Amino acid sequence: MKKFSLTLILIGHFLVSTKSNAQENYMNYHSKVIECEELIVEGKYTSAINKFDSLFNQFNFLFLRDIKVATELSAYDNDYKSGLNFVRLGIKAGWSLESINKNKNLQSLREQPEWAKLMSTYDSLHKTYLSKINFQVKEQVHEMFKKDQKKAFGALLRIGQKAKRRYSQKKFAPHSEQQLEKLEQILNEYGYPGERLIGNNLWGSVILSHHNSISVNYNSNDTLYALLRPKLLNALKQGEISPYELAQIEDWRIAGLHDHKLTTYGFLGAIPDDTVLETVNKNRANIGLRSIDLRNELIDVENETGMDLHLPKGWQNGKITVANRRNRCTSH
């Protein structure tokens, strides 16, 4: 019997400024971020800070996660000038005052004489961020997300796999098809509704992940996501969606179709051996996502230093393991 696979994804889960957007390819951006992360693993913190600084001057839109990492690194390495500059960039990218003040790792920056002056400019810097957000689309997608959560929660109220499967295909699937049609309209008119467009990198990916995990039978015959997928890949190049978001959406589809025994990017499903690991890492490289080994080594750095490198944990709250692994030598 084919198993019901729709899973409720809850909220609590998881600049050279003269450039034109046409010149920006965010595959290059993510490649440079990976180079920074490799330097971090090697303990070359100053080089990583300098590379982050150079990267941030090459692109108009910066992912807040990367600015946070650069800031944490600067504070840890006592490079207060760079750290304060990264905080300034972070505010312009949506870093909230509450989040900044709660971050204990930034205490050394808060003790700098320049901190008070920087914080006095918070409102004006934050306005720069707000000016880039499409609030009309944000409200629309937020309503879609809330409706999606409510519909998905209905599956949890059904008792037994047969009842859950019937609900997913009779009730949730028609709702999800309408959701994807609306997402396609937004994609065509405004681009992908993620961090760059609406300041949120959760709502759209959850809606798509829910669609990709309705049931084995439904998703085996689904054509809607296949039509959207090229648009998502283009959005990746435009910096509208992050590699992690795309990987999560794709992994839900593959895991759902194969009873969570297969994975494309390593976030859902199993990695049984080195052969599969090699394929997974190639898939990750193709969308600008760090390798499994680099991800795991960054977690080691977090544990050793106390830094928060803001790795998307998703459904893998820690290291991603390979069941039967040969001994290896670490290299970059």
If you compute the radius of gyration of the chain from its CA atoms, what whole number of angstroms results? Answer: 21
Per-residue pLDDT tens digits for 264-282: 999 887 888 999 999 999 9
Dihedral sign, CA of 74, 80, 85, 89?
A: positive
**Polymer length in residues for the chain:** 332
Q: What is the 3-state secondary structure (H, E, C) of the chain?
A: CCCECCCCCCCCCCCCCCCCHHHCCHHHHHHHHHHHHHHHHCCCHHHHHHHHHHHHCCCCCCCHHHHHHHHHHHHHCCCHHHHHHHHHHHHHCCCCHHHHHHCHHHHHHHCCCCHHHHHHCHHHHHHHHHCCCCHHHHHHHHHHHHHHHHHHHHHHCCCCHHHHHHHHHHHHHHHHHHHHHHHHHHHHHCCCCCHHHHCCCCHHHHHHHHHCCCEHHHHHHCCHHHHHHHHHHHHHHHCCCCHHHHHHHHHHHHHHHCCCCCCCCCCCCCCCEHHHHHHHHHHHHHCCCCCHHHHHHHHHHHHHHCCCCCCCCCCCCCCCCCCECCCCCCCC
**Which pLDDT belongs to residue 315?**
59
Amino acid (one-letter) located at 25: N
**Which pLDDT belongs to residue 268?**
85
Tokens of 264: 């494309």
**Which pLDDT belongs to residue 327?**
63
**Which pLDDT belongs to residue 328?**
56
**Which pLDDT belongs to residue 6?**
52
**Which pLDDT belongs to residue 5?**
47
**Which pLDDT belongs to residue 293?**
95
Residues 176 and 180: their CA atoms lie apart, in Å, by 6
**Which pLDDT belongs to residue 314?**
61
Q: Which parts of the chain register pLDDT below 50?
A: 1-5, 9-22, 329-332
Where residue 160 falls (left for φ over 0; alpha for ψ -120 to 50; beta otherwise) is left
CA–CA–CA angle 244, 241, 248 (5° rounding): 30
Backbone angles phi, psi at 273, to 5 degrees: -160, 180
**Which pLDDT belongs to residue 19?**
37
Burial class (CB in 10 A: 0-12, 13-18, 19+), 164: buried
